[in-house]
Amino acid sequence: MMGVPLDKVDKIIKPEDRLKTIRKGLDEKVSKDVREKLIDLSDFFHYIAGIDYDYLGISGSTCPGLQKAEISDLDFVIYGLENHKKAINAFKKYHDQEVEVGEDENKRNIVLNPIQNEFWQHLYEKRIKDDSLKKEEFCWYEARKFNRGVIRGTLFDILCTRNMDEVEGKYGDTKYIPLGIAKIECTITNDLKSMDNPAVYEITDVKHLDGIEEEITHLASLTHTYAGEVLDGERVIARGKVEKVITEGKNPSYRILVGSTRESIGEYIKLKEKPV
């Protein structure tokens, strides 16, 4: 893990403060085009998704002011698991539609668009290195996540960051012991943390199909491919590394980790009934 000695830290830049500065027009390094797009995105999540401005921020190169004049994408941050779900649902419901944001003389209509398949196909070649997901499957799953979109020709991500009161425990409290590979069939009961890092799904009605047989209660993923992949109530197939989770003060539990390597060879989460 990388780290910076405390005596070398000059300034801590917070995504939420940075967004407020840009909205007020107090940074000359940010172009008019980028500023207007960030204002529109934050107004969409505020007026349409119902999220307070205090829980919105900008990350990536724009946060420290290192963005290029012709910016390729905007890494928009939503604080809070419930807030992030509101943002995703609002984009899913109102994409490709004109919606009204702002107040009084600042009222205006804006449109957010989903990403087209050409982008997902490019991403497929970058991420998938085996036959766990066919190209058509991958594109279908990515398109229904609605965590990425386009605003007037610029890509944006809807990133999830927990609020401080959602951060549990402290470093060293929990240990993960690898036991081997397993394949299961199960039902998703809680997908609230499915866009977190790691992505976590609570599951029930587990049926062991192959490998290690333990009482699996969660699926987890360390790769973006399987974050937000499946939803509450869906019956899924998962294959990955079984880990025994030992947390101080709690009984041991078991989970399947998908994405123990970047390529996730032979590891996946997908619907039992193929989408395409």
The predicted pLDDT at position 44 comes to 98
10-residue mean pLDDT profile of the chain (276 residues): values are 90 95 90 94 98 96 84 92 98 97 94 89 87 90 95 95 91 93 98 96 97 95 94 97 94 94 88 83
* pTM assigned to the model: 0.91
> Do 38 and 16 touch, CB atoms closer than 8 A?
no
Tokens 């790769």 locate to: 223
> Do 34 and 67 touch, CB atoms closer than 8 A?
yes
Would you say how long the chain is, in residues?
276
The predicted pLDDT at position 165 comes to 93
> Do 257 and 220 touch, CB atoms closer than 8 A?
yes
> Do 72 and 139 touch, CB atoms closer than 8 A?
no
Residue 189 has phi, psi (to 5 degrees) of -110, -20
The predicted pLDDT at position 174 comes to 94
